[in-house]
Amino acid sequence: MTRLINGITTLTLTVIFFAWSHQALSHADARPEATIETQQLSDGLYVLFGKGGNIGLSVGEDGTYIIDDQFAPLTPQINQAIKEVTDESVRFVINTHWHGDHTGGNENYGKAGAVIVAHDNVRKRMSVENISEFSGKPIPASPDAALPVVTFDSEISLHLNDDDMRVYHVANAHTDGDAIIYFAKDNVLHMGDTYFNIGYPYIDTGGGGSIDGYISAVERGLALANDDTQIIPGHGPMSNKKELQKFGNMLKDLRQKIATLKDKGMSLQEVIAAKPSAEYDAENGQAFIKPKQIVTFIYKSL
């Protein structure tokens, strides 16, 4: 299975992620070039791939709803992809977390009448200006129309389109407001950015993320899944329980190695120089997050 999403080069992927770090793309006037690819997972359930976080799409007699909405300029392309499946407009948007590559289209859908749902901390983060620890750039507060209007603390259920969708908060993982979504009948799990199927994950320590929370989120996903579960990662191609388990095992091993070095009194730079991620770098360190960065994220959150 390819480790790059839809053939996007490493350079392009890096540019995309830097763009959302300060929401330049999500508020840009020019529409970025993107092809939205649709993959059907079951009767009425789909995943949309584009530039940004993978979008879950449910259609049926109760209406149309999406999980995440990528960047604002992509809304017309996303709507066109949805139109090829259904004529119904989007009724609900569920955000897996607050980053702009997953919430950039919120304002467009909010103004069009969609109800936006997310964890409490997503609304809190989006309501005020943040400073990206990764880029050092300010992330402006989102307009009112982009903010979630239905928020939850630990979990929420939506009973729509002949399925029971369970939305679970996983604390201090990728951020402090992550949610993973499980479709009980269709046996589909959307992990948001608690699963990067393109290499090392981004752990937003400045946004409340941590390695321990990230590992716990993966364990929660594994507990929900079985061998037949179709897993939507935040980025990258569709996956399964076996691949998610491999991803989680890697994170546990990296945490143990880095914690051992830190407990010896080694500085961050000394730990980076020791290359504790070396055995995983060829497969996981070629995309967005480089070996130095994953070591830094883990070290800082221990």
Domains of the chain by residue range: 8-251
DSSP β-ladder status, 115-119 and 178-183: unpaired
H or E segment and range at residue 46: strand 45-49
Contact 170, 63 (CB under 8 A): no
Phi then psi for 218, rounded to 5 degrees? -65, -40
* H-type alpha helices, 135-284: 211-224, 241-263, 268-274, 278-284
**Cβ partners under 8 Å of residue 222, min gap 6:** 241, 244, 245, 248
Which ranges of the chain have pLDDT less than 50?
1-31
Q: What is the pTM of this model?
A: 0.91
Please calculate the CA angle 209-50-248 and round it to the nearest 5 degrees: 35
Residue with tokens 């051992």: 260
Residue 10: predicted pLDDT: 36
Cα separations (Å) of 243 from 85, 147, 251?
29, 33, 13
**Cβ partners under 8 Å of residue 280, min gap 6:** 200, 250, 254
- What CATH number belongs to 8-251? 3.60.15.10
**SS3 call for 155:** strand
Residue 135: predicted pLDDT: 82
DSSP 200: S
Residue 32: predicted pLDDT: 57
In tens, the pLDDT along 239-296 reads 999 999 999 999 999 999 999 999 999 999 999 999 999 999 999 999 989 999 999 9
Rounded Cα gap, residues 283 and 302, in angstroms: 24
Rounded Cα gap, residues 196 and 247, in angstroms: 9
Rounded Cα gap, residues 5 and 180, in angstroms: 20
**Cβ partners under 8 Å of residue 267, min gap 6:** none
Residue type, 146: A
